[in-house]
A and B are shown apart, each in its own frame.
Chain A
Amino acid sequence: MRWAVPSRSAFPLTVAVLAFAFLGLFLAYPLWKVLASSFLDASGMRFTVEAYAKVLSTGYYRSAITNSLLIGALTTAASIAIGLPMAFLLARMAIPGRSVLLALSALPLILPSFIGAYAWVLLFGRAGIVTQWLQGLGLPTTTIYGLPGLVLVFTLHSFPYVLLPAIAAVRAVDASIEEAGQNLGASRWRVFLTVTVPVIMPAVLAGGLLVFIETLENFGVPFVLAEDMPILAIEAYKLFVGEVGANPGMAGALAMILVLIAALALLVQRYYLGRRRFATVARSAPPVLRPGPLGRWLAGGFVWGVVLLAILPFVAIVIVALMKFRGPVMQSEMSLGNFEQLFARSHRPLYNTLGLATVAAIGASLIGIPIAYVLTRYRSTLSHALDVLAMVPFAVAGTVMGIGLILAFNSGWLVLTGGWLILVLAWLVRKLPFSVRSGSAILHQIDPSLEEASINLGRSPSWTFFRLTVPLMLGGIVGGTVLAWVTIVSELSSTVVLYSGPWSTMTVVMFRALEGQGAGAAAAAATVLIVATVVPLALVYRLLRRNNLAVL
C-alpha cells in the first residue's frame, strides 16, 4: 500500500473535500451569518430573541407569513389541479398537436415569472391595454392585483413542475396494474382513483413541493402584483435594504422563517416519499384513449387553453415592446424606439448579464457534475452528507442568499461586495442543486460497468471520470449548462440585493423600469430577457429533451 488513502477513494475524497470547502464558505457561512444576525442585538455582541419577538408580535409581518403560506398552498393546489389531469390527457389521449404541446409545456417554467406578471399587468392592470379597451366599451373590469392575480400568475408559471414528472409517472404505470383492478371488479373510474392516481401521487407531490418552495421564495411576481399585501421575501428585502433604516436583525429573522418553512416542506416530502416506493416499470403501455368528438374537443381545449394562457402574455409583451410609445401612451404604430431608449444610456447591463451568467453557468456545471458523479457512483456517509448540503440552496430563497453573502463578505479578510464575483457566486450556488440533479440523471443513464471496465483495465478513477465519463455525458452537460444559463439570465431575487453600481444586469434594469420609466422601456427590457431565454433553448432543445427537462 503506497497511499494512506486507498486509491479507489482518493478521487471521490478530493472532490468531496473541495465541494465541502466551497459550500462551507459560500453557502453555510453566509447562512450562519444570517442566523447569527437574527439572534444578536444591535451591538452585535449579545444573544437575544428580540428580533423574532418583534416580527411575530407585529401584525404586518405576521400577515406576511400567512400571506406567503396561503399563496404557496393555493398555487400548489391549483398547479396539481391543472397539472395532474393535463398529464393524464397528454400521456393517454390522442390530443391534436400533442408533440407541440409536449415541447411547449416546459416553457412557462423557464420564462421569467416576473415578466409574466408584468405582462398580465400590462394587459389587465389598472392602466392595462385590455382594461382600457373594456372600459372604453363600458364593460366591467376586475383587478389583477392581490391574491387572485398572484395565484393565477404563479400557477401559470409553475404548473409544469407538476405536469412534467406526472407525465413520466403516468407513462410508467404498467397496463397490467390497471387491468388487475378491473379484473377484481372495479370500474375504469374507480381504478383511476384507487390505483392510477395513488401510484403517480409521489411524483405529483414531489412536483407540488417544487411549486410551493418556488412560490415562497419568488421575489419578482409579488413585487409586481402584491401592491399592499405584505409578502415574506419582499419584506425581508425591504428590512435589509432599509427604506426607513436598515434592520438586519429583523431581516434575518424573516429570512430564517422563510428558510425554515422551505426546509419543513422538504422534510415532509422526504418523509412521505421515503415510505412509498412505487417504482413501476411499464412492460406494456395502457391503450390510448379515443374519446368521442365532444371529449376530444374538451380535452384538447383544456390542455391547449392552459398552455396558451401561460405563454401568450410573453408574446403580447414582445408585441408591446415593438409598438411606438408617446410618453406612457401606446400608439398603433410599430417602432424600435423602446429599444433605443433602453440602451440609450448604456449597453453595460446587457453585457454584464450575458457575460456573468456564462461564468456562473459554466461554474455551476464544473462544480456540480463532479459532485453528481461522487453521489451516484460512490455511496458512503460522506457522499450522503454532501448530497444534503448540495441540496440546501434549494431551500434558501434568493433574497436570503443575497443577504447572507453581504453579511459574510462585506468586511473582514475577504471583501466581495460591490464587485461582480458576488453576483456570480450567488447564482452559481443557487443553480448548484439543479446541476447536481441534472448530472445525476445523466449518470444514471450510463452503465457503471463501463467505468469499472476502464478502471479494471488500469485507468485511475479520475482519468476514467474526465476522459471516459465526461465525454459520454457531454450532450447532457451542455444541455444542463444552457438551461442553467437561461434561468440565471432572468434571476432577480438575489441580484436585486447584491448588484451595485456598474454591475447591474438586465433584470435590474427591468426592475427599475417597473418602478419608474414608461411601459415601453420595461417591455423592451422584458423582450431582451425573453429572447435570451427562448433562443438558446430552441438551439439545444433536442439535447434537453433527452437529458435535462425531467430534473427541472
Chain B
Amino acid sequence: MTAVTISRVERTFGAVHAVAGVSIDIRPGELFTLLGPSGCGKTTLLRMVAGFCDLDQGSIAFGDRRIDTLPPHRRNTGMVFQNYAIFPNLTVAGNVAYGLKARGVAGADIQRRVGRALELVHLDGYGERQPFQLSGGQLQRVALARALVIEPDVLLLDEPLSNLDAQLRLDMRREIRTLQQTLGITAIYVTHDQEEALAISDRIAVMRAGRLEQVGAPAAIYRTPATPFVAEFLGATNLLTGTVEALDGAHLLVAALGRRFRVPAAAVPTGSAVSFSLRPEALIPVEPGHPWATVTGEIAAAEHLGALLRLDVRLGDGPPLRVAMLDDGAVAPAPGRPITLAYDPARITVFAP
C-alpha cells in the first residue's frame, strides 16, 4: 500500500489554469475520487500522476519516492482508460501480459499471473479471444485485469464506467470497489458522476476550475458542503439567499422566498444577506401546527419516480422549493393544494457571505 502526496501542483495550458496549486495527501489503501464538472482539471491531475502531462510547479510522491520526474513507463501505476485502450493487435491474454513482459517477468510466471488476473475479473477462459469479440463490459474487465496484474503502486481510473450502460455501471463500480478493497491497493478515481463518487469512494476531492473546493468523506461532503458549488454539484439542493432578521439562541431567522427560515447560527450581522443549502429530503410534509420549524406553501408540480415522490412547492415568491420523499401514499400530490413542510435546522448548511 502506497501513500500518494501531491504538493502544490500547477499546470497552465496557454491562458487556462488547468491545475492551479493543488495539494492532496492520499492515504495508503484508500480509494480517492477526483470529482468535478468537465474542464475542472481532474483528468489533467490524474494524467500528471500517470506521467502523461508535465507539471509546471510542485511535486508528486509515492511514499517517500518522488515520481513526477520519472518517465511514465517507470512509475508503476496501473491505469484504466476511459475508452479502455485495449491493444487491438493482441489477444485478451496478450493485453494482460503486456506489462509483465515489459517488466521482463519469466514466461511461466506470466502465464500464471495472467490466468489469476483474468480469474479475478471473471474472465477465465477468455484469454485467447480477440478484443473485437468482446462486449464493452468485458473490455472494461480486461483493462482492469491488465492494470492490476502488474501490481501497481497506485491504480488510476479515468472515468472507467462512462462508456457502459446504466445497469452494468452499477455492477462494475461495486466490483471495482470490492477488488480495490480486497487487494488493498491505493486508487485514484476520476469521475464527473456525483452518485458514482459518493458510492465508491473513501474520500472525495471536489474540483472546480483547477482548484480543490472541498476534500472529505462522501457523507461529510454531502451533509456539510463547504461551498454553494459543492452543495449544488453533489445531489440536488435548494440554494437559498435571504436577509438575516434576528438571532434566536442557536439559530438565525432568515427571510427568504417570502417566508422565515430557521438556520444554524453564524457570524453574520442582522440585516445582511446570507445563503444556505436545504436538501430536498430534509423537508418533510406534516400537518399544520407541527412542533418543528415549518414553512407553508402550495404544490406547484409533482413527479412520481417510482419509490420517490418529488414535489415543487411554491412559497411566497421566487422559484419553487424542491422537496423529495419516499412515496408512502400519505401525500396527495395535487397541484394547487396547500402543504406544510417541517425541517430540522441542523440539516441546513449556511455559507459565510
Contact = CB atoms under 8 A, between A and B. Distances in A.
Interface of A: 174, 176-177, 179-188, 190-191, 194-195, 198-199, 201, 276-280, 283
Interface range on chain B (Cβ under 8 Å from partner): 20 to 34
A190 B83 contact: no
Nearest to B89: A198
Contact of A278 (B82, B89, B99, B150): B89
Interface pairs A-B: 3 shortest CB-CB: A184-B99, A198-B89, A176-B85
Contacts, number: 85
B259 interface: no
Given A181-B98, A184-B99, A186-B102, A174 B89 contact: no
A184 B89 contact: no
B52 interface: yes
A185 B146 CA distance: 12
Contact of A179 (B78, B81, B147): B81
Interface of B: 50-52, 71-79, 81-83, 85-90, 98-99, 102-103, 130, 132, 146-147, 150, 156
A176 B83 contact: yes
B88 A280 contact: yes
Nearest to B132: A277
Residue of A176, A179, A185, A279 ringed by the most chain B CB atoms within 10 A: A185
A114 to B, nearest CB: 38
B132 A195 contact: no
Contacts of B87: 177, 180-181, 195, 198-199
A177 B103 CA distance: 18
A205 to B, nearest CB: 13
Contact of A199 (B76, B78, B89): B89
B73 A180 contact: no
B296 to A, nearest CB: 52
B88 A185 contact: no
A190 B102 contact: yes
Nearest to A180: B85
A186 B71 CA distance: 10
**Chain B interface mostly helix, strand, loop or mixed?**
loop
B274 to A, nearest CB: 44
Nearest to B99: A184
Given A179-B50, A179-B79, A185 B89 contact: no
A179 B102 contact: no
B85 A185 contact: no
B150 A184 contact: yes
Contacts of A187: 71, 73
A243 B83 CA distance: 65
Given A176-B81, A177-B85, A277-B132, A184 B98 contact: yes
Contacts of B76: 185
A396 B130 CA distance: 35
Contact of B78 (A183, A190, A191, A276): A183
Residue of A181, A182, A183, A194 ringed by the most chain B CB atoms within 10 A: A183
A174 B146 CA distance: 18
Nearest to B47: A179
Nearest to B150: A184
Given A174-B83, A185-B99, A185-B103, A179 B88 contact: no
A174 B73 contact: no
A264 B54 CA distance: 51
B339 to A, nearest CB: 49
Given A177-B86, A184-B78, 18 more contacts: A177-B88, A180-B87, A181-B98, A182-B51, A182-B72, A183-B78, A185-B73, A185-B74, A185-B76, A185-B102, A186-B102, A188-B73, A195-B87, A198-B90, A276-B89, A278-B88, A279-B88, A283-B83
Nearest to A183: B79
A180 B85 CA distance: 6
8 contacts: A176-B83, A176-B85, A179-B81, A180-B87, A183-B73, A184-B78, A187-B73, A277-B130
A340 B110 CA distance: 76
A278 B83 CA distance: 15
B12 to A, nearest CB: 17
Contacts of A278: 88-89
A204 to B, nearest CB: 13
Given A176-B81, A176-B83, A277 B88 contact: yes
Given A199-B89, A280-B88, A186 B98 contact: yes
A179 B73 contact: no
